[in-house]
Amino acid sequence: MKTLYLIRHAKSSWKHDYLADFDRPLNKRGKRDAPVMGRRLKQHGVPELFLSSPARRAIRTAEVIADETGYPSEQIRTDEAIYLAGEKSLLKIIGRIEDRFDSVALFGHNPGFTLLANLLSNESVENIPTCGIFCIGLNIKSW
């Protein structure tokens, strides 16, 4: 059994229109919500691997949640392919995860995360909101 946590980045700022999308920081709401979600995640168990998009808002969300859960922030991995990935690309990324990890938190973006949630679960997911966590139990032995 493997557990995948799809964690969409916390709310980001559009205030600085000179910044590229990749470089947008978290806004006030995002900075408030990420620690709350980290504490909620900790109540359900801390994933063994944190894997994040390198986009500023995603990696910052991963860092804040790591801090709240006790996951070592220096162990957060990044994969450039997560940024703007669709569900098929995300499946390939997940398929490269070492089998020694039974639970993985993936930090990234919509629409790919919502599409992947619909593909891998029996739920009908309209939208994973910012800082939303969607947990999927997978009856598999290998990613």
116 is written with which tokens?
């992947």
**Beta-sheet strands, E only, within 13-110:** 49-52, 77-78, 103-108
Please write the tens of the pLDDT for every residue from 72-131: 999 999 999 999 999 999 999 999 999 999 999 999 999 999 999 999 998 999 999 999
Nearest to 119, CA basis, from 83, 92, 96, 80: 92
CATH class as words, domain 2-138: alpha beta
Segments making up each domain of the chain, as ranges? 2-138
**Model pLDDT, residue 15:** 84
